[in-house]
Structure 1
């Protein structure tokens, strides 16, 4: 009996040591993810706690968290079995921000000035109701089936698509939403936000205010090998800077998103691991560094905040859009962009029109080609803050397709050869959702 007790005691100690070493450090990230997700989903899209926990937070380990919403104080808190409480506050115009104990919630803050342009045009070029349209070259039976097949049938929970919007020749030709979601539902694009962030450099370049081929304007790099890194390298995720992006564990990306006060510095402080333009590696830290570089282009923080909306989002009528900020006031350009599915489609349409929106050229036509041109060493998968199909990742989809892509299968697909923009928002990636088959079938509804 004593021997058995000794064995059990040793096993218990092993388990406790494992929990302390492997699990306990993750609790801060788990409760952080959960608090941020709850605050954003509730205060931005008016989702209740049950819907958020069964949808957005239905992720291994994240579902360990216990969450509470304080509507009066406009914040959410989360713990894991009573440990590691984290808090996310909501501020109108800035979204939800995960904060630490040093953050001064009473401090005043600036918010972006918004302009809502009324042009009396139907959606998608305006915000009025879309026009009824019938195209002779569309097989509507195939189109409807392709869209319906993107959603789970009743009782299923595999594809978990929330919405689909299809634009063809500037017309809305298909649209569908899962129960609980509508055309006015705001959905987090996750890393689709990177494509928005990159676009601001195209806008500034057209305005003659920046040259992306110049070295990145970072004082900390001036006296070492990082001084040779250009903005172009950063846009292409080809800087050679050290970074780890692996959401299955504690890594640079998770520490940045759920612990950092100033996310723009996380990549900035990393050493060079490779020479610029010789090694491609996907890095959310790089995009937040780009957001920090954008901030330096303006004399005041207010100008930086306003620019993201006045130069792009409100300019094309993406009036539902909201980009959330970190504790230091930087837009989290890597991950925290929200918009309705229709408005995400507008962003794709802007690129389909090579930067022209109702006659106004927001960025040079060449910029659309630039973002869709393969980055060195990416094997035809990545351009400049956009993913691309040049290497045939989706074998049954035209090679000229390029797309915004986000965690859990968010996608804005731009297909110039077909005059198509296809948006899918959801909670699953491949293989649970077959993007190749979905895109193939939508495109297949267009008669040759």
Structure 2
């Protein structure tokens, strides 16, 4: 009787093992793919292989076209699952990142720190010299590199222009969160610390290593990054892998983790120039109000995002090994947003219909 019982247990165990071997591996167990830096080819993955709903894709594409999109991509484990272009835009055409490019500045700042060129806790004036604002010197010296990364400089955000006359005192650094263009002073900090132009430093440390095609262009207010859609997706893939590209840790993982977690105790939905989903409350550009609940309620709670005016987006969702990119004109031309907008929730409703 005992021998029969043992044989039954062994048989059940072997059947269980066989089932596990025969079952398709979950998405997250698939090895991560990185496109070659000097090639245009890029591995793809079918919607059906992921168990997604093909019949919901057309509705998503129709919505994107109606909302003035130029391009849209979804990567899973680095592979292209969906890549679409609208309204005459093409794979090789460039478009502006707007404030989504803040995350590029954040990454370059982190690399400069890991190379011991700067320290986030240093005063900005240590790199730019005193008198870079119109604040009293004692107040100006309170502003650290980290305050620029976290939007807590305490400087007046009411003007879009960043020149000395507009950089006036509102609060002591670290005591007030306000979305402002003064972040671009980080480009000057990195330039001064590295003793070269910001663009030269960025190209060497990030652009060339990822195989991006972009360039920094002087805008009306500040320099704006322009690239094709796949270059935006490449940066999103770097972010998905916490600063690692293939076998190289380009950006220190510790810094990247700080970048994509709450960076101060005023707006929990903001890191180092990255927007964070799934927090208990959030603030938005142009307001000092605190809104309860998550930034994008229809999106996964672990999502972090690069968000720019006219709905430029890089969504990164670690739990699903996913990167989503949207470029284009404002989804609502009558009410163009600086960063966060209602478009995100509506778009995620369409995305969820495909992936869930």
| TM-score range normalised by the length of the shorter chain | 0.7 to 0.9
Relative contact order (alpha carbons < 8 A, sep ≥ 6): 1 or 2 greater?
Answer: 2
For these two proteins, the number of residue pairs brought into alignment is 296
Hey, what's the Cα distance between the residues in 2 that align with 1:366 and 1:398? 23
The alignment status of 1:442 with 2:351, answered yes or no, reads yes
1:242-257 correspondence to structure 2 within 5 Å: 242-244=156-158, 252-253=159-160, 256=161
In the TM superposition, what whole-angstrom CA distance separates every residue of 1:52-75 from its partner, at most 9, and x where no partner exists? xxxxxxxxxxxxxxxxxxxxxxxx
Corresponding position of 2:215? 322
TM-score (norm 1): 0.61
One of 130, 136, 141 as aligned partner of 2:54: 141
The alignment status of 1:311 with 2:185, answered yes or no, reads no
Corresponding position of 2:151? 237
Hey, what's the Cα distance between the residues in 2 that align with 1:345 and 1:282? 25
Q: Is the CA contact 2:154–2:170 (under 8 Å) kept in the aligned structure 1?
A: yes
Q: Is the CA contact 1:142–1:444 (under 8 Å) kept in the aligned structure 2?
A: no
Q: Is the CA contact 1:122–1:129 (under 8 Å) kept in the aligned structure 2?
A: no
Corresponding position of 1:127? 39
Hey, what's the Cα distance between the residues in 2 that align with 1:220 and 1:201? 20
Hey, what's the Cα distance between the residues in 1 that align with 2:64 and 2:167? 42
One of 172, 184, 188 as aligned partner of 1:292: 188
Corresponding position of 2:234? 346
Unaligned residue ranges in structure 1 (runs of 5+): 1-120, 153-157, 245-251, 257-262
Corresponding position of 1:337? 225
1:397, CA displacement in angstroms? 1.1
Unaligned residue ranges in structure 2 (runs of 5+): 1-32, 280-293, 337-341
One of 100, 116, 132 as aligned partner of 1:208: 116
Hey, what's the Cα distance between the residues in 2 that align with 1:402 and 1:223? 36
Hey, what's the Cα distance between the residues in 1 that align with 2:302 and 2:42? 27
In the TM superposition, what whole-angstrom CA distance separates every residue of 1:232-290 from its partner, at most 9, and x where no partner exists? 1110010111221xxxxxxx21xx3xxxxxx5xx1686232112211100111x12211
Hey, what's the Cα distance between the residues in 2 that align with 1:211 and 1:268? 27
Greater helix content: 2
Corresponding position of 1:85? none
Q: Is the CA contact 1:191–1:335 (under 8 Å) kept in the aligned structure 2?
A: no
1:108-187 correspondence to structure 2 within 5 Å: 123=35, 127-134=39-46, 136-141=49-54, 144-145=57-58, 147-152=60-65, 158-187=66-95
1:350, CA displacement in angstroms? 0.4
Give the aligned CA root-mean-square deviation in angstroms: 2.7
